[in-house]
Amino acid sequence: MKRPILIHPDPRLKKVCVPVADISDDLRILADDMLETMYAAPGIGLAAPQVGILQRVIALDCAKEGEGDARPLVMFNPAVISSSDETNVYEEGCLSIPEQYAEVTRPKEVEVEWMDRDGNAQRETFDGLWATCVQHEIDHLNGKLFIDYLKPLKRQMITRKMQKLKRERAREQ
């Protein structure tokens, strides 16, 4: 089932999410719903707080269209355990901040540990867009948005645009 995506500003997008204890059927349903919501958006990532669930769960698939198979990944309790000194600049977007993009500098490579949907521990090194996206999604779990890396004036401008968008959408209901 597709779930509605929260739009910034929303207090739930600023909260630090709690770790998941055991992988229950409810969490597996959440994982499936997050992938469905992400693909439908369309997006390459989604974090649970974006659908109003304040738990440490992210979904991502950065496989490029026409370059092999999709690779849907759901991570419970993901954590970056090491980062490269080398950085990468990527023009990021966010499904909670529609149609706004800005360059963000992040480590080029990150090693991430997480629990998969069967409760097994996983560890992998990501680079390129995968590295950017997994860091963006883990930031969501800590209440941090990509606009928090921008200068205050630019961040304020984007926030005002989103407030306007939310007012317009509320009027259309």
Contact residues for Zn ion, defined by CB under 5 A: 94
Residues 86/108, Cβ–Cβ less than 8 Å: yes
User: In angstroms, rounded to a whole number, what is the distance separating the alpha carbons of residues 46 and 2?
Assistant: 12
Q: Tell the smallest beta-carbon distance from residue 22 to ligand K1U (Å).
A: 25
The beta-strand segments (E) located in 84-145 are 87-94, 97-107, 109-115, 121-127
Does 115 help bind ligand K1U (rule: CB under 6 A)? Answer: no
What dihedral do alpha carbons 39, 41, 46, 49 form, nearest 10°? -140
Does 132 help bind ligand K1U (rule: CB under 6 A)? Answer: yes
Q: Report what 59 binds from Zn ion, ligand K1U, none; CB cut-off 5-8 Å by kind.
A: none
Does 136 help bind ligand K1U (rule: CB under 6 A)? Answer: yes
Q: Tell the smallest beta-carbon distance from residue 170 to ligand K1U (Å).
A: 21
Range in contact with ligand K1U (rule: CB under 6 A) among 10-18, 74-82, 92-100, 158-166: 92-100
Distance of CA 160 to the CA centre of its chain: 22
Sheet containing 73-83: order of strands: 45-47, 57-60, 73-83, 109-115, 121-127
Nearer to ligand K1U, 77 or 132 (CB): 132
Q: Tell the smallest beta-carbon distance from residue 146 to Zn ion (Å).
A: 6
- Of 27, 57, 133, 147, which one interacts with ligand K1U (CB under 6 A)? 133
Residues 75/55, Cβ–Cβ less than 8 Å: no
Nearer to ligand K1U, 63 or 157 (CB): 63
Does 139 help bind ligand K1U (rule: CB under 6 A)? Answer: no
Three-class DSSP category at 77:
strand
Can you say whether residue 68 is alpha, beta or left, with left for phi > 0 and alpha for psi between -120 and 50 degrees?
left
User: In angstroms, rounded to a whole number, what is the distance separating the alpha carbons of residues 159 and 97?
Assistant: 8
Q: Tell the smallest beta-carbon distance from residue 25 to Zn ion (Å).
A: 27
Instruction: Answer yes or no: 137 catalytic.
Output: yes
Q: Select which of 113, 137, 168, 172 is catalytic.
A: 137
What residues make contact with ligand K1U under the rule CB under 6 A? 42-47, 90, 92-96, 132-133, 136-137
Residues annotated as catalytic are 137
